[in-house]
Amino acid sequence: MVSHNTKKALTIAGAGLATLAGSSVLSSNVSADTVAPDTTNVTNTTTDTPQVQHEAALKTLDEAKDKDEQATQALNDAKKEADQAQANKDQAQDAVNQQQGQVDQAQKDTNQAQEIVNKAQDDVAKA
C-alpha cells in the first residue's frame, strides 16, 4: 500500500518534470520563432525579447526547484512514515515473541505438573 506522502511526492515530482519539459518545449518554440518569425500575419508578430525569455526561463526553473523541494520533503515524510511503521512492526513482533515465551513457559509448567500427578498416581497405585 502506498502512503499518502509517497503519492504526494510522486505527484509533485511528476509536476516538476512536466514543468521542466514544458520549459524545454517553450524555449525551443520561442527560439524557433526568434530565428524565423512567422511573417504570414504581420499584425500578430509579437516576439519576446531575449531578456523576457530569460526571465521566463528563470521563473520556470524556480518553480521546478520549488516543486523538487516539495517532492523531496514529501519523500522524506514518506520515509519517516515507513521507518515508523517498521519500528511499530518490530515492537509488535517483540510483544508476540514475549507472549510466545510466556505460553512456552506455561506449557513447560503444565507438563511438569502433569509428570508430578502421574508420579503421584503411580506411587498411590504401588502403595
Contact 68, 13 (CB under 8 A): yes
Q: What is the DSSP letter of 49?
A: -
Retrieve residue 92's grid coordinates.
509488535
Is 43 within a domain?
Answer: no
Is 93 within a domain?
Answer: yes
Q: Does position 16 have pLDDT exceeding 50, yes or no?
A: yes
3-state secondary structure of 45: coil
pLDDT digits (tens, 9 = 90+) for 93-118: 999 999 999 999 999 999 999 999 99
Written as one string, the DSSP assignment of 85-99 is HHHHHHHHHHHHHHH
Is 57 within a domain?
Answer: yes
Q: Does position 31 have pLDDT exceeding 50, yes or no?
A: no
Is 29 within a domain?
Answer: yes
Is 41 within a domain?
Answer: no
Is 28 within a domain?
Answer: yes
Retrieve residue 6's grid coordinates.
509517497
Give the number of domains in the chain: 1
Retrieve residue 60's grid coordinates.
520556470
Task: List the domain range (segments joined by +) for residue 75.
Answer: 4-36+48-126
Is 42 within a domain?
Answer: no
Question: How far is Cα 37 from Cα 29, in angstroms, rounded to an integer?
Answer: 10
* pLDDT of 28: 46
Question: How far is Cα 81 from Cα 46, in angstroms, rounded to an integer?
Answer: 51
Residue with the bigger pLDDT between 29 and 67: it is: 67
H or E stretch at 23: helix 4-35
On the 0-12 / 13-18 / 19+ scale of CB atoms within 10 A, 39 is exposed
Q: Does position 51 have pLDDT exceeding 70, yes or no?
A: yes
